[in-house]
Amino acid sequence: MDHADSQTLHHPADPSLLDVDTVARELGVDPLTGLSEDEAARRLATDGPNELRGRKPVPLWRKILAQFQDPLIYLLLAAVAISLVSWVIEGAHGTPVDALVIAAIIVLNAVLGYTQEARAEDAVAALDSMTAAASTVLRGGQLRTIASTDLVRGDVLVLDEGAAVGADARLLSASSLRVQEASLTGESEAVVKDPTTLAEPVPLGDRLDMVFKGTSVTQGTGRAVVTGTGMATEVGAIAEMMDATVEEPTPLQNEVTSIGKTLGAGVVVIAIVVMLTIILVDGVREPSDLVVVLLLGVSLAVAAVPEGLPTILSVVLAIGVQRMAKRNAVVKKLSSVEALGSASVICTDKTGTLTRNEMTIQRIVTASGTAEVSGVGYRPQGEVRSDGLPLHGAQLQEARLVLGAGSLANDAQLAERAGAWEIVGDPTEAAFLVAARKLEGTTEEMRRLERRAEIPFTSDRKMMSTLHENPGDGTRLVLSKGAPDVLLARCTQQQVGNQTVPLTDETRSARLAEIETLSAGAYRTLGVAYRRVTDEPAGSDPAATGGMDESWERDLVYVGVVGIIDPARSEVSGAIDEAHRAGIRVIMITGDHPTTARRIAEDLGIIEAGGRAATGAELDTLDDDALRDLTREVSVYARVAPEHKLRLVDALQSDGQIVSMTGDGVNDAPALKSADIGVAMGITGTEVTKEAARMILADDNFATIVAAVRQGRVIFENIKKFLRYLLSSNMGEVLTVFLGVVLAGVIGLNEASDGSDLVLPLLATQILWINLITDSTPALAMGIDPEIDDVMARGPRKLTDRAIDARMWRGIVSIGLVMALATLFAIDLFLPGGLVDSDDNLEVARTAGFTTLVFAQLFNSLNARSETTSAFHGLFANTWLWGAIALGVVLQVAVVEIPFLQTAFGTEALDLTHWAVCVALGSVVLWYDELRKLVLRLAERRRTG
């Protein structure tokens, strides 16, 4: 059936009005096996990927044009116009060098801007692909998990609790299936779904036999055949009427933008002051002098404003997030990086996050005693023994019944692929399948029973039941498994060998004591019970799936309990120590027994020996104020329901904490969404939790969260590095020109004038050149700098803290001043007159000052890597930065020594002595900052010592 020509497939006008056989026939699929891989590939090629059509891509010419739509570019264009007008007024002799140079700089600046933005877009696109949703489908009779974008019409969707519905689909079957459709209909309550064909057209919210793309399963299971993908879905119809969402800038991006605007306004004022100062001090004798002054003012304004800050910030964030993804921490949005580095509390699940999530049954406790199961993991190798001997008699019968019933009341699958055993479904359920294979004869008995109906597990019920029938003799059994205390409350008898005996208060207490003993040994416990069905319970709901509802779960026969161990991950203990060192508190929140939770927490170092564990029942008795007080003292919470997680998050946040919360189940989604950093499990997490979370752990490992926090802090430190570098370097350029004009008489610039020409410390084209070669590549290289300071040795940063604080501003101004003084001294050193007399000419002196300022900024890139740590610490750790420095040196040598560049930038060749002096004076910035950092470190030691 699945080999039908995909070109001739029908599009059912309204699948909700057609029976499932008709829908399947029109879509060319067998609901029992699904499509073949080849047919699915053909349909995907025909219909295209299952994704909404976003905003039309911006044409290349628009992206390039956008690089010129900036006030600073307008200033440069004005400078070109001024230069051309001056050239024409003076007779248009020769080539308008200044105008051509400035125009070339405009083009180069646009190329750099476009390249950086393209890199940021590519990084974000790669990030989107990492967080793509997945769906479980039936292909060729096998369950497969595929990207939701690869769904095609005719695919058979397999739905269970927590699944995100990947496409519009017609239900084939459903068992207690509830779907949250608020995203489409606005209805807050989950909708109970039913595959029964509708008799007449109804509104979208009443199409109970359909599920829709963008909704999520909150309870139950079901299967559905895909009827529409991409823009041919209900959410696609809505998307037709909407533009793509524009992501809001992060607080950090807003701060950087604000800094840029403030500096822009300030520099315009400074540029005007500098131009007025030049006019007042030197006077304007010729029209060409006025042109020189205007060009200088414009160039100074352009150079002093770090216009590339927002773009560099986006690139650095995107690259940082990609690096985190390679370490299994997939951050969905760049804005989350800020909160990640500020986390003060990590609330974590136990199973799979602190532990390996390789659930293994090691104990089977029944009325006849305790049996030990050997072997770990999902490979079904091992034995079931009691006191070292094979099981026999009543204990063997009881153990087979425990493992067999637990394996049948089960939705997991176990399979061997390429020599490795893999599971599909819940690891705890899979543990029964593995253990059953270790006890001879168990799986053979299971094969005789066929499932007829089920009552799914939910976090509220804490149990599940299935109805099975033996086709040979018509025997029907209700098989149940779940939390032992919940199960025991529904039992009236217990199994002893092949007999059932009443469950008295005494034996019930004995069973509870056995459960307590297992929990004290850090075992997770699951009970198993059953009931032979002789007639349907009175009052049962005939409309329930298979005619089965919770009224069937009574008068059960208790069989036994299993002890399941999930060993702690070896790396978690060290990660918790690292979190504590960073001032981050770790809180364990689990549905396990309090004794089990406390034991694991003690072993991992979350709490001290004898520490307290609060329970969900205890939380129910507390008001918000009392709960907030409790969260300050208690770090382990056991037997909690999902709604407790949300209350804990709110309590911690109201106490001023920045909270990271992990989760995997559908009911965890509200807590993840409420937390500052919601973290979903990439392996065991549902699609709903992945959608609600800000970060996804690809390996479900707690240590990855701590590593991500470290990376978040490193990214923020790198952002501060390039801010420190750009702002201090630009400050150096502004102060060089301003002080050069004010101190022109002191350093000999006035004496260099022949009385008619206006003499300035730097030319406009030289300032623009410095801005071009020193602002982009070194700043980007610092954005990917490895960790210099120990970022985990300090407490979490508050989100209200400024990226540039008062101390950093003092450093920026002082370094800019040192840079300017070194540059002006280089000019004075090679000018006749001034403080130091020389026989060189003005062009050589200005070239030396120009070169000194370039070298000073390149040395400053080494300074800026830390506020307090010496530049010589990890000096060669960043090869990209050294590459940027080498490129800057090569370009500066070229602009000084190559003749046509000398003409363009007003430079003159320097000899080795000149070069040595320029390098030495440029390095003064490095030595000054080393002294400043030493003073800061000594002050810090006195303060903390």
pLDDT digits (tens, 9 = 90+) for 10-45: 556 788 888 888 999 889 999 999 999 999 999 999
| pLDDT score recorded for residue 5 | 46
Lowest mean per-residue pLDDT among 275-289, 367-381, 423-437, 516-530: 275-289
HSE of 16 in the Cβ direction (CA atoms, 13 Å)?
18
pLDDT tier for residue 788 given thresholds of 50, 70 and 90: confident
- For residue 493, is pLDDT > 90? yes
Give the pair of three-digit tokens for residue 410. Answer: 């089960």
* Run of H or E residues at 220: strand 216-228
Does residue 543 have a pLDDT over 50?
no
State yes or no: pLDDT of 157 exceeds 90.
yes
Q: Which of 151-155, 513-517, 664-668, 792-796 has the lowest mean pLDDT?
A: 664-668
pLDDT band at 106 (very low <50, low <70, confident <90, very high): low
The predicted structure's pLDDT at residue 475: 87
User: d(Cα 580, Cα 344) in Å, to the nearest integer?
Assistant: 10
Q: Which residue has the higher pLDDT, 522 or 530?
A: 530
Q: What is the mean pLDDT of residues 142-159?
A: 90
Burial class (CB in 10 A: 0-12, 13-18, 19+), 494: buried
Q: Is 507 a residue whose pLDDT tops 90? A: yes
With residue 159 as reference, give the H or E element that holds it: strand 156-159
Phi, psi of 556 (to 5 degrees): -80, 160
Give the burial class of 656: count Cβ atoms within 10 A of its Cβ; 0-12 exposed, 13-18 middle, 19 or more buried. Answer: exposed
Which H helix or E strand runs over 709?
helix 702-742
pLDDT tens for residues 273-302? Answer: 767 777 776 666 666 667 677 766 766 666
Q: Are 96 and 81 in contact (CB under 8 A)?
A: no
CB contact burial 506-537 (16+ within 10 A = b; e otherwise): ebeeebeebbebbbeebbbbbbbbbbebeeeb
Neighbours of 478 (CB within 10 A): 25
What is residue 149's DSSP assignment? Answer: G
Does the pLDDT at position 47 exceed 60? yes
Any idea what the Cα angle at residue 563 is, between residues 559 and 568, rounded to 5°? 165
685: pLDDT strictly greater than 60: yes
Q: Label residue 747 by pLDDT band (50, 70, 90).
A: confident
**First-to-last C-alpha distance (Å) of the chain:** 79
- pLDDT value for 776: 73
Distance CA 659, CA 653 (A): 7
Rounded distance between C-alpha atoms, residue 708 and residue 706, angstroms = 5
- Check if the beta carbon of residue 564 is closer than 8 Å to that of residue 525: yes
Q: Are the beta carbons of 451 and 426 closer than 8 angstroms? A: no
Percent of the chain clearing pLDDT 70 (strictly above):
81
**DSSP string for residues in 531-571:** EE-SSPPTT--TTSGGG--GGGS-SEEEEEEEEEE-PBPTT
CA-nearest of 346, 424, 323, 352 to 679 is: 346
Q: How many residues does the chain have?
A: 945
Pairwise CA distance, residues 172 & 138, whole Å: 13
Q: Kindly give, in sequence order, each residue whose CB lies less than 8 Å from that of residue 246, ignoring residues fewer than 6 positions away.
A: none
Q: Which of 345-354, 508-517, 547-556, 717-726 has the highest mean pLDDT?
A: 508-517
CB atoms within 10 A of CB 546: 14
Give pLDDT tens digits for 572-591: 889 999 999 999 999 998 87
How far apart CA 220 and CA 209 sit, in angstroms, is 15
| Per-position b or e across 105-123, b if 16+ CB within 10 A of its CB | bbeebbebbbebbebbeeb
- Nearest CA to 361 among 300, 296, 433? 433
Give the confidence band of 57 by pLDDT, cuts at 50, 70, 90.
Answer: low
Instruction: For the chain, state the CA radius of gyration.
Output: 36
Question: Virtual CA dihedral for 813, 815, 817, 822, nearest 10 degrees?
Answer: -170
Predicted local distance difference test score (pLDDT) of residue 127:
47
Torsion of the alpha carbons at 549, 550, 555 and 556, rounded to the nearest 10:
90
Strand, helix or coil for residue 366? strand
- Which H or E element spans position 326? helix 309-326
The confidence band for 536, taking pLDDT boundaries of 50, 70 and 90, is low
- What is the rounded CA–CA span in Å between residue 747 and residue 485? 89
| Backbone φ, ψ for residue 248 (5° rounding) | -70, 145
User: Which of 98, 349, 566, 676 is labelled catalytic?
Assistant: 349
Q: Please give the Cα distance from 9 to 511 (Å, whole number).
A: 59
Looking up tokens 């940027």 gives 884
Give the amino acid at 126. A
pLDDT at 73: 62
pLDDT at position 103: 73
pLDDT band at 153; cut points 50, 70, 90:
very high
Distance, in Å, from the CA atom of 226 to the CA atom of 138, rounded to the nearest integer, reads 11
Give the separation between CA 43 and CA 49, rounded to whole angstroms. Answer: 10
Separation between Cα atoms, residue 872 and residue 353, nearest integer Å: 39
pLDDT of residue 93 exceeding 50, the answer is: yes
pLDDT (tens digit per residue) in 589-623: 887 778 778 888 888 899 988 888 998 889 989 99
The first and second tokens of residue 844, run together, are 């050589």
Distance CA 945, CA 943 (A): 6
More confident residue, 24 or 332: 24
pLDDT at 394 (0 to 100): 93
- Greater model confidence, 324 or 228: 228
Among the ranges given (205-214, 240-249, 493-502, 609-618), the one the predictor scored with the smallest mean pLDDT: 240-249
Distance CA 285, CA 301 (A): 24
pLDDT in tens, 179-189: 877 666 656 56
pLDDT value of residue 359: 84
d(CA 480, CA 544): 17
Burial of 560 (0-12, 13-18, 19+ CB in 10 A): buried
| Cα–Cα distance for residue pair 691/696, rounded to 1 Å | 9
What average pLDDT does range 735-761 have in this prediction?
A: 74
Task: Supply angle C-alpha 565, 569, 570, rounded to 5.
Answer: 125
824-833 b/e with 16+ CB inside 10 Å = b?
bbbbbbbbeb
Residue 261 scores a pLDDT above 50: yes
Best-predicted range by mean pLDDT (352-366, 420-434, 484-498, 720-734): 484-498
**Contact (CB, 8 A) for 256 and 305:** no
Mean pLDDT value of segment 51-67: 68
Four-CA torsion 804, 805, 808, 812, nearest 10 degrees: 60
Check: CB of residue 427 under 8 Å from CB of residue 358: yes
pLDDT bin (cut points 50, 70, 90) of residue 692 is confident
Residue 743 has a pLDDT of: 83
Give residue 826's pLDDT band: very low, low, confident or very high (50, 70, 90). very high
Q: Is the pLDDT of residue 542 over 50?
A: no
Q: pLDDT confidence of 814, banded at 50, 70, 90?
A: very high
Annotated active-site residue 30? The verdict is no
